[in-house]
Structure 1
Amino acid sequence: MENLEAKNHPIIDLGSWFEQPAGCYIRAWEQARLDQLTADIFGYNALQIGQPQINALAASRMPHKWLTTTTLTNSRGNLKEQAPVAMLLDFAELPFASQSIDLVVLPHVLEFAAEPHQVLREVERILIPEGRLIISGFNRTSLWGARQMAGRLSGHHFLPKEGEFISATRMKDWLKLLNMEVRHTDFGCYAPPYQTDKWLQRFSFMEKIGERWWPYLGSVYMMQAIKRIKGMHLVGPVRKYKRLPRRQAVQLANKVHKQGK
């Protein structure tokens, strides 16, 4: 049973990494950005998939919120205070009806998922038309991405070795195939990949420099997309017009005709 759970586990060892100084550094930026994004998204049903260390729906004002996760033991804090938990081992089969969710948040799920394309297809299935999707991921084109590649060669991994970084450009292509329109992408966390608070604080000055001079080289990105339906157009409220009787309509038409002469 233990081997089976390890095999099907979509996210491996990332939860404990988020408790370390480098993970807390990433988590703080993502939490602040998620609070800004979700507060302005309206609807009824919101879903966070994975990573209970990040309370992605904390600022959401939607009345119904859920969290799907693989375990309760790797979480910091009380999950019951965040959202109802739906336990499952496979994010590729979500237990929600089609077109039933207004907002889905994927914090570092796809890069550690065995079938990231299938996870995205499931998310697209459960989202309502014009529903929102927020994805966070590690940026392949960054100092942290370079550190991850070097760790694979040397055997000294900085991030969980099972992770496969997905570039923002590649993620946009995947979403485009699913008729998901990317509205905006934010990059953040420009400090070098140090493992201690001391060194991360020493390089805190790089945050403002990075945002101004190399904004696309942040360690992580957060992407917001909208589910579009081909042929669907949003219109205003339909006005109801009173239909005139046939005789009255003919008299009105003759009157207009005589006035025009």
Structure 2
Amino acid sequence: MAPQRAMPIELAEWLETPVGQYVRAWEQRQVDAMVGNAFGYHAIQIGLPHWDLLQANRIPHKVWAHSPSAPFGTRAGRLICEPEQLPFDAQSVDLMVMPHTLEWCNDPHQVLREVERVLMPEGRVVMTGFNPYSLWGLRESLPGLALQLPIPVPSQVSPSRLKDWFKLLSFELDRGRFGCYVPLCATSAWLQRWQFMEHAGDRWWPAGGAVYAIAAVKRVSSLRLVGPAWRKSRRRRMRRGAVAPVASQVDDARR
């Protein structure tokens, strides 16, 4: 088995730093908007169970699934499992939220296959992640600089690759947003000084945000059943059989 790309505990600790709180606040707003109108009976969050990304949703049954290495927290409804093997029946989940899940799992594509298996038709999945083509990702790829992100750049799943995987698994992209355009700063003071880049980046460099949030819907093609078409054709054949006698037959009867 391939080594884990990043430990959830490291990501959870990083989210408590000033820059992590900045990312967390942006992602919370985006996910709240994407899950607010999702309906059904079962909603699952995979990863980071101490962070409630289902709070804006009204689905009655909610579960926070996580790997054994993740921080547990004290919330009820927790479930320990690996994202590559979800312990749910096929087509049993209406909403699935995955904060940075693909960045620390062993097999991201297998995780998406499991998501497709357990989601109901028209079910929704919401994912967040780091953008390797942002200022943050480019900085982390430069040699000689100290890493400030909890996840190395090669392990990040780009939005373009995620869209290709969605297409292969019959997911339809519903909406997507990039955010966090300020430089990768370590303190809250410098983050505030660079806040003007938030609006400038969203306008002039929309795909260069440090993080992204994407929502997709599982589409299932349905068969169109044709009704009693054979009965109509049979009636047409019967009507064509009632033909009036031709002129030669009338003449023979007169004789």
Contact 1:184/1:224, CA 8 A, preserved across alignment:
yes
1:86 aligns with 2:76: no
> Letter of the aligned partner of 1:183 in structure 2?
D
- SS at 2:19 equivalent: helix
Shift of 1:112: 1.8
Of 211, 216, 230, 1:220 maps to: 211
Corresponding residue for residue 102 of structure 2:
110
How many Å apart are 1:10 and its aligned residue? 6.0
Q: Which secondary structure state, in structure 2, belongs to the residue aligned with residue 195 of structure 1?
A: coil
CA distance in 2, matches of 1:32, 1:112: 23
RMSD: 2.3
CA contact (8 A) 2:18 2:186 kept: yes
CA distance in 1, matches of 2:98, 2:197: 27
What TM-score results when the alignment is normalised by the length of structure 1?
Answer: 0.79
Counterpart Cα distance in 1 of 2:201 and 2:223: 40
TM-score, structure 2 normalization: 0.80
Give the structure 1 partner of residue 123 of structure 2.
Answer: 131
Structure 1 residue 72: deviation in Å? 8.3
1:158 aligns with 2:154: no
Q: Which residue type is aligned with residue 75 of structure 2?
A: L
Q: Distance in 2 between matches of 1:66 and 1:133?
A: 14
What is the SS of the residue equivalent to 1:185? Answer: strand
1:32 aligns with 2:29: yes
Matched, 1:183 2:174: yes
Report the secondary structure of 2:190's partner residue: helix
CA distance in 1, matches of 2:51, 2:23: 10
Give structure 2 stretches of 5+ with no counterpart.
225-255
Residue 208 (structure 1) aligns with: 199
Q: What is the CA-CA distance between 1:87 and the residue it aligns to?
A: 1.3
The alpha-carbon distance between structure 1 residues 183 and 213, as it changes in their structure 2 partners (threshold 3 A), is: same
Aligned pairs for 1:247-258 (under 5 A) are none
Tell me how far apart the structure 2 counterparts of residues 7 and 168 of structure 1 sit (CA, whole Å).
Answer: 21
Runs of 4+ in 1 over 3 A off after TM superposition: 6-12, 71-75
Q: Could you say which residue in structure 2 is the equivalent of 1:168?
A: 159
Percent sequence identity is 44
CA contact (8 A) 1:101 1:131 kept: yes
Mapping for residues 48-67 of structure 1, pairs under 5 Å: 48-67=45-64
AA aligned to 2:159 is A
Partner of residue 65 from structure 2, selected from 64, 68, 77:
68
Q: CA deviation at 1:178?
A: 0.6
Conserved? CA contact 1:12–1:112, under 8 Å: no
Q: Give the number of equivalent residue pairs.
A: 222
* Aligned-residue offset at 1:39: 1.1
What is the SS of the residue equivalent to 1:114?
Answer: coil
- For residue 145 of structure 1, the aligned residue among 128, 137, 152 is 137
Q: Which residue in the other structure is 1:240 paired with?
A: none
Map 1:228-239 onto structure 2 (within 5 A).
228-231=219-222
Max radius of gyration: which structure?
2
Q: Which runs of 5+ in 1 are unaligned?
A: 234-261
